[in-house]
Amino acid sequence: MTRNLTSPRARWRAVNPMTEHDRLPAPLRIWAAQAALPWSARSLRRLWTRALRETGCPKAALSRLSRAERATLNREAARVWGPAYPAH
């Protein structure tokens, strides 16, 4: 009978998204607050770790995240707003 008391969704999400976001490094949290796309903390951490490992510099890693976001926006603009939407 205890199976009715818990939601499958609650078991599926093992971590709190806000806690995950709060554990991000401060420069990355600041960048995420100004980002144009709604990045998850998990994907941000993965991209940040890779960019930091490859560049060795937090500023360069943030710049790489901005370029990745810009590329995503350019790639998806036509699908979201139509082919006539001007790319930046």
| Alpha helices, DSSP H, located in 1-88 | 8-12, 17-22, 26-34, 41-55, 58-81
Domain limits, the chain: 41-77
Q: Residue 18: name the closest of 43, 41, 49, 34 by CA.
A: 41
Which pair of tokens denotes residue 65?
Answer: 């995240």
Work out the burial of residue 48: count CB atoms within 10 Å of its CB; fewer than 13 is exposed, 13-18 middle, 19 or more buried: buried
Q: How many CA atoms lie within 13 A of 10 on its CB side?
A: 5
pLDDT in tens, the chain (88 residues): 555 555 555 556 567 888 899 999 999 999 999 999 899 999 999 999 999 999 999 999 999 999 999 998 888 887 877 777 765 5
Q: Which two tokens stand for residue 83?
A: 């082919």
